[in-house]
Structure 1
Amino acid sequence: MCSHPSTCPPAAADDRVLAVPVSRRPEQGWTLLCNGVVVFDDDGELLPDGAVVLTRPWSLASAGG
């Protein structure tokens, strides 16, 4: 899939976000990498097979009172 000198990590690899960006849309908050992964500014990822990866642990704030 890559046409640049070094091959990018595959979408299933742990280092997949080190692939070369092929399209950036900062106004929309995402970057498409050459391995097909979409990286979002909020640290989420969308893999080519449609799987969602949340790299930041999210938790709901308690409604303390």
Structure 2
Amino acid sequence: MADSDMKWFYDLSTGQVTQGKATGFETRMGPYDTEAEARHALERVNARNEIADDWDEAAED
């Protein structure tokens, strides 16, 4: 069994969290070590994007 088979992934197209690569890479985020990390993937991405946007705005000033 490959290590990625035990990891968790978030599917952008369905919003489902799966263990293992159940979907294609086009809509799959991960791997994550825990189900909880995968479940909160979008929150983490949004927070990082907000920080990056703030950094970009500060650099423009």
TM-score (norm 2): 0.29
The structure with the greater share of residues assigned to strand is: 1
Higher relative contact order (CA 8 A, sep 6+): 2
TM-score by length of 1: 0.28
Determine which structure has the larger helix proportion and give its number: 2
